[in-house]
Structure 1
Amino acid sequence: MIAIKQGDVTMKEAILIYTTLPLIIGSNFSSHHEQEFVMHLNTALAAKQLDWHVSLDESFGDSQAIKGKKPDALILKNGLQHQFDRHAFDQNQIYQLGALELSTLSTRSVVAFLANH
């Protein structure tokens, strides 16, 4: 578990995995929309007073690096369900974003998922 303290509360950490290395080679890579989604998601989590913090994956989907951070949950961008090596993680702690959740900044289902974990 990644220990993030907010006041006297230790926050649980979720990581949004939005790309894997093979997908970014030769592409115009940008995480602006993903950063905006994470900002909206953290705002929604705080509004519901949930002890969760979401951050962007900085390892380009390196499952070993992510596992080393010991996150409490993973959020996979739509399309990564077959590229990201999920086998090293508890499948019940993985949320697969729907096709439009990221592009429409829809956080309701992700917040509900994290609230139950």
Structure 2
Amino acid sequence: MARIQLITIAINILFIAYISRLIIKGKLREEYAIVWCICTFVLILFSFWRGGLDVMSKLFGVFEPPNLVFTGFIFIILVYLLHLSVVSSKAQHSITRLTQELAILKEKMEKAEEEKHIGN
């Protein structure tokens, strides 16, 4: 096995361990970790299977194997950015709704305090 393969495999295993540590500490949610784990396992697969990139590029009809890597990762990044945009939009909607509910509750409390002071 070539030195670069061993280095790549070791780095990927360390990266998986780091992702696991972030999940355990609660700093990374599982739904986001899945994408990182899948990408890392794909890199580990191609680290062991040296001719795999050539096979995959022939299967997809790509003439140069590095072009397949770039195209694949650009596609994955775009899909992931779309997912993050949806999550961000949901969070923004929830924050707006909670802020409105908080304002209503604050107004009700102020009215209740006014009525309490007027009643005394």
TM-score by length of 2: 0.28
Larger radius of gyration: 2
Using structure 1 for the length normalisation, give the TM-score.
Answer: 0.29
Structure in which a larger fraction of residues adopt helix: 2
| Higher-RCO chain (CA-CA 8 Å, sequence separation at least 6) | 1
Report which of the two has the higher share of strand: 1
